């Protein structure tokens, strides 16, 4: 009697339909928002998710300066950067960085939740972060995304 074996589906790069989503960061907690954005960037919300292929969608984050931290993280969380030269380690707390460069806070939170390899870097390129409520991607027809349910509004 021949056995029937199910075939495993692997998405190919040319078969992926990518959507554009807009996320409003106003009042959103940074960590929770970042984990859900990483989920969409990886494509884990799609039935054809393949771990070894980039099947994720594009995400536009607006109002980056209005994201919030819980607890005492504004004063206690420290962000570091360096040019790898001796004595060039720079540090800034979350409050200072949120005022000067809020895009970097969200970018670091999301990229930290993506795979740390070539695939993760490619997925991170689909993230676009802006201050204020305007963005230059109107031609792509982005849809508002509810991060609580990962459903289009």
Question: What range does the domain containing 89 cover?
Answer: 18-152
Assigned domain for 28 exists: yes
Indicate which CATH number applies to the domain containing 122: 3.90.1180.10
Assigned domain for 11 exists: no
Report how many domains make up the chain. Answer: 1
Task: Give the pLDDT of residue 1.
Answer: 62
Assigned domain for 13 exists: no
Task: Give the pLDDT of residue 125.
Answer: 98
Task: Give the pLDDT of residue 3.
Answer: 73
Contacts of 20 (CB under 8 A, 6+ apart): 57, 58, 59, 60, 137, 140, 141, 142, 143
Assigned domain for 92 exists: yes
Q: List the structure tokens of 74.
A: 């504004």
Assigned domain for 121 exists: yes
Q: List the structure tokens of 123.
A: 């997925």
Residue by residue, pLDDT tens for the chain (153 residues) are 667 777 888 898 888 999 999 999 999 999 999 999 999 999 999 999 999 999 999 999 999 999 999 999 999 999 999 999 999 999 999 999 999 999 999 999 999 999 999 999 999 999 999 999 999 999 999 999 999 988 888
Assigned domain for 6 exists: no
Write the DSSP string, 47-107. Answer: TT--TTS----EEEEE-GGG-B--TTHHHH-EEEE--SSTT--EEEEHHHHHHH-HHHHHH
Task: Give the pLDDT of residue 53.
Answer: 94
Q: What is the pTM of this model?
A: 0.91
């Amino acid at each position: 009697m021949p056995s029937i074996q199910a075939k495993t589906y692997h998405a190919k790069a040319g078969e992926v339909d990518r959507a554009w989503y807009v996320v409003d960061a106003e009042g959103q907690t940074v960590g929770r928002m970042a984990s859900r954005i990483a989920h969409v960037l990886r494509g884990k919300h799609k039935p054809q998710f393949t771990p070894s292929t980039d099947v994720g969608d594009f995400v536009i984050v607006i109002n980056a300066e209005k994201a919030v931290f819980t607890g005492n993280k504004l004063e206690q969380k420290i962000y570091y950067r360096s040019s790898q030269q001796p004595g060039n380690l720079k540090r800034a707390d979350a409050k200072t960085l949120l005022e000067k460069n809020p895009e970097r806070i969200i970018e670091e939170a999301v990229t930290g939740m993506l795979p740390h390899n070539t695939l993760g870097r490619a997925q991170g390129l689909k993230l676009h972060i802006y201050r204020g409520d305007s963005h230059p991607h109107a031609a792509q027809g982005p849809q508002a995304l509810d991060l609580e349910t990962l459903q289009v509004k």
